[in-house]
Amino acid sequence: MSVIDTPAAPAAPPQPRRRRRPEPETKERGVVSRSDRNRPSVRIWFRIVQTILLVVLIVSGLGPLLWAAKASVSTSNAIVSDPMGIWFTPNEWGNLLLAWNGAQIGRSLGNTVILAVGSTLTTLIVSVAAAFLLSVLRPKWGPWLSGAILATLFLPGVVSFVPLYLTILDMPLLNISLQDTFWAVWLPAGASAFNVVVLKRFFDSIPREYMEAAKIDGAGPLRILTMVVLPLSRPILGVIILLSVVGSWKEFLWPMLVLSNPELQPVSVMLPKLAAGNSPLAVQMAAVFLTIIIPVILFVIFQKQFLRGVGQAGGVKG
């Protein structure tokens, strides 16, 4: 029996490789396209516009601070006669010392720091506790409380001044007056509905698996808050701290109502009194400069932490 060899099947011809389509660009196009920027005429005008905008921003941002620095070491006559003069001779360095000691700006700045720190602490304690209750613990009456907190956002702050002031004069259950004490400013600062809503939204974005894993390991609510929620909420807590410090620093009406003692008043209350008194204009400008320069220095030192907190406050990566 013979075996007939069958011929092998011919190989299939190689198919031509399909060209890959270029992926569409995901970047948004600006006012001037990339090809237009490569043109010499467009590039020159583009740099000129950028330079002009940069100069305008620097002048508008640093202009008031530089003018206050100039006025703080000038005489009162020089400020009135040539307020927009660029060239000047800084002869009145004693204005800063008079403003610090004579006008009691140093003491007022210390009071402002105390008020800002205390208001920030009460804000963090109350806001974190309320947001943790509504977002993590989730009691049955939580939606009612959340709705009541949201309703307070529609009320103007001036409407609550009278009942809040009467409460400070006679605290319920305690029957004591908080007038002319720092507590009169610290306690109302903690009741911030906006901070509670912001923190609750951020806590809602934290994956629930983290809390469930902590519960399986035997962690209670307090431990979940301190070991899971707060470490993941550092960015938003930094934003809340920044907003609380800025809000407390510039607060004027409420400290003026509850702090009638000049030894307890912040700079926001002392500066108008200094302007209404018989202090020279140069001393007043020196006080304004000292009031401005300290927050600017603090922001320059901690700007990385502030900007990082604002940038990372959008959510938590799972």
Listed as own residue / partner, the contacts of 255-263 with beta carbons closer than 8 Å and 24 or more positions apart are 255/115, 255/185, 257/161, 257/165, 258/165, 258/168, 258/178, 258/179, 258/180, 258/184, 258/185, 259/180, 259/184, 259/185, 260/179, 260/180, 261/180, 262/104, 263/107, 263/111
Tell me, yes or no, whether 303 lies in a domain.
no
Q: Match 């809602």 to its residue by tokens.
A: 204
Is residue 128 predicted with pLDDT exceeding 90?
yes
- Reported as a pLDDT band with limits 50, 70 and 90, residue 125 is very high
| Residue 167 resides in a domain | yes
Neighbouring residues of 207: CB distance < 8 A, sequence distance ≥ 6:
316, 318
**CATH for 180:** 1.10.3720.10
pLDDT band at 74; cut points 50, 70, 90: confident
Confidence of residue 316 (pLDDT cuts 50, 70, 90): very low
One-letter amino acid of 267: V
Residues of the domain holding 245: 103-277
What is the CA 243 to chain-centroid distance, rounded? 4
Does 97 reside within a domain?
A: no
Q: Which pLDDT score is estimated for 115?
A: 93
Among candidate residues 237, 194, 190, 208, the one with its CA nearest the CA of residue 137? 208
- Contact between 68 and 288 under an 8 Å Cβ cutoff? The reply is yes
pLDDT at 16: 56
77 located within any domain? no
238-262 pLDDT per residue, tens = 888 888 888 888 888 899 999 988 8
Q: Give pLDDT tens digits for 1-57.
A: 444 555 555 555 555 555 555 545 445 555 666 676 677 777 788 888 889 998 888
Does a structural domain hold residue 205? yes
| Domain total in the chain | 1
Range picked from 172-176, 224-228, 277-281, 291-295 for highest mean pLDDT: 224-228
Q: What local confidence, expressed as pLDDT, does residue 41 receive?
A: 76
Q: Is residue 4 part of a domain?
A: no
119 lies in a domain? yes
| Position 112 in a domain | yes
Instruction: Say if CB 206 and CB 316 are below 8 A apart.
Output: yes
Q: Considering the chain, what is the average pLDDT of its residues? A: 81
Question: In the chain, which ranges are continuous DSSP H helix?
Answer: 34-37, 40-72, 76-81, 94-97, 105-132, 142-152, 161-169, 183-190, 193-205, 208-216, 221-224, 230-232, 234-250, 253-258, 267-276, 281-301, 303-311
